[in-house]
Amino acid sequence: MTTNGDAPLKVVPVRHIGRWISGGVALLVIAMIVHTIFSKLPTGQYACSGAKPNRLCHAKTEWRFSWDIIRHYFFTSEILHGVVLTLLLTVLAMAIGIVIGLVLAVMRLSPNRLLSATAWTYTWFFRGTPVYVQILLWYNISAIYPQLSLGVPFTSIAFWHVSAVTLFDPFRAALVALALNEGAYMSEIARAGIISVDEGQIEAASAIGLTRRQTLGLVVVPQAMRVIIPPTGNEIISMLKTSSLASAISVVETLGAATNIYSANYEVIPLLLTASLWYLFWTTVLSSGQFYVERYFARGSLRSPPPTPLQRLRHDAIGIAGKFRTTRGLEVAR
């Protein structure tokens, strides 16, 4: 409100020249990249029409990024089948990995030295060797353990046995390798989450008579989730792409399907791009999912949750509209 009834004062915002220039440069670079992505290349061939002497010829062109070929293969059953396998590997390996990780984290924090040392050794081994090597090892496990059996340890008594070759077909070998490797990483993430929970929370839970297990399940883990979720989201996204290593042991997931096709028709780049676009698509889906899960587990720790992308977009739109409304300004008491 103005004190003397005058019209509201106009506010002149600070001009950020540097921001405008750097913004312009960024825009230029983006425009150049987009232009090359959607540009065409001459093929070296010519297309002619009409008879001499009025014959018209022009150079033939094709998409630099072979968009037509990508579009053709994008939804073929072989690629789609591969995509399903990629998702299956990712979801199963992560699910098993998270369970292993939580168990290992609790073991690591156990007062029992043998348990914590076991968990430490597991993490040491599975983090210390490349996941690619682990996939190859599980695929060839029958060389060292030809037969797996269930029976009395250190005797020949067995109730059930299975040959390692049948048990570890390519898909299962890849799944086991990815899951066990993930377990090692998840255990560190879960451990960081658990130790981030304030000691006072555990004392308060004990004081009302909750058992150690109830305290862990009802008080510690739900609060640790806030710390565990963001890196776990990263792990899922990373797993989506790491699962492509399974193609090395002839699992026909997204990349495997793409290489199968291009080894027959030599359309290497379009098929690699097809695979890349599928990976990008699922990464986008997973990242947006991660945002909402994080928001859910942050309840109670933030006074107001961060805005969703839609809310932010609406807010930005209102802000930009406001910039163009020149009469809008703060009212200053004079």
Residues 166-205: x/- map of binding to other proteins (CB under 8 A)?
--------------------------------x-xx-xxx
Say whether residue 109 binds other proteins (CB under 8 A): no
Q: Provide the CA 294 distance to its chain's centre, in angstroms.
A: 14
Closer to other proteins at the Cβ: 220 or 246?
A: 220
Residues 34-93 that bind other proteins (CB under 8 A): none
**Least separation in angstroms between CB 306 and other proteins:** 15
Nearer to other proteins, 60 or 212 (CB): 212
Q: Give how many residues touch other proteins by CB under 8 A.
A: 25
Least distance to other proteins from the beta carbon of 230, Å?
Answer: 16
214 binds other proteins (CB under 8 A): yes
Q: How far is CA 7 from CA 12, 217, 325, 329, in A?
A: 15, 61, 16, 10
Q: How far is the CB of 236 from other proteins (least distance, A)?
A: 22
Q: In this complex, which beta carbon is closest to other proteins, that of residue 203 or of residue 331?
A: 203
Give me the 296-315 binding string for other proteins, x by CB under 8 A, dash otherwise: -x-xxxxx------------
Residue whose token pair is 């293969």 = 73
- How far apart CA 216 and CA 198 sit, in angstroms, is 12
The CA distance from 85 to 252, in Å, is: 7
Residue 94, token pair as written in the block: 């992560």
Mark residues 259-298: x for contact with other proteins by CB under 8 A, - for none: --------------------------------------x-
Nearer to other proteins, 216 or 249 (CB): 216
As measured in angstroms, the least distance from the Cβ of 308 to other proteins is 19
Should residue 211 be labelled a site residue for other proteins when binding is judged by CB under 8 A? yes
**φ, ψ dihedrals at 44, nearest 5°:** 90, -5
Check binding of 222 to other proteins (CB under 8 A). yes
CA atoms of 122 and 161, how far apart (whole Å): 25
Distance CA(153)–CA(131), nearest Å, equals 30
Q: Which stretch binds other proteins (CB under 8 A): 143-151, 209-217, 254-262, 287-295?
A: 209-217
Pick from 223, 243, 244, 247: which binds other proteins (CB under 8 A)? 223
* 62 beta partners: 41
CB of 67 to other proteins, least distance (A): 48
Q: Should residue 207 be labelled a site residue for other proteins when binding is judged by CB under 8 A? A: yes
Find the shortest distance in angstroms from Cβ 226 to other proteins: 8
208 makes contact with other proteins (CB under 8 A): yes
- List all residues 6 or more positions away from 331 whose beta carbon is below 8 Å from its beta carbon: 1, 2, 8, 9
For residues 290 and 320, give the distance between their C-alpha atoms in angstroms, rounded to a whole number.
28
| Contact positions vs other proteins (CB under 8 A) | 198, 200-201, 203-212, 214, 218-219, 222-223, 226, 297, 299-303
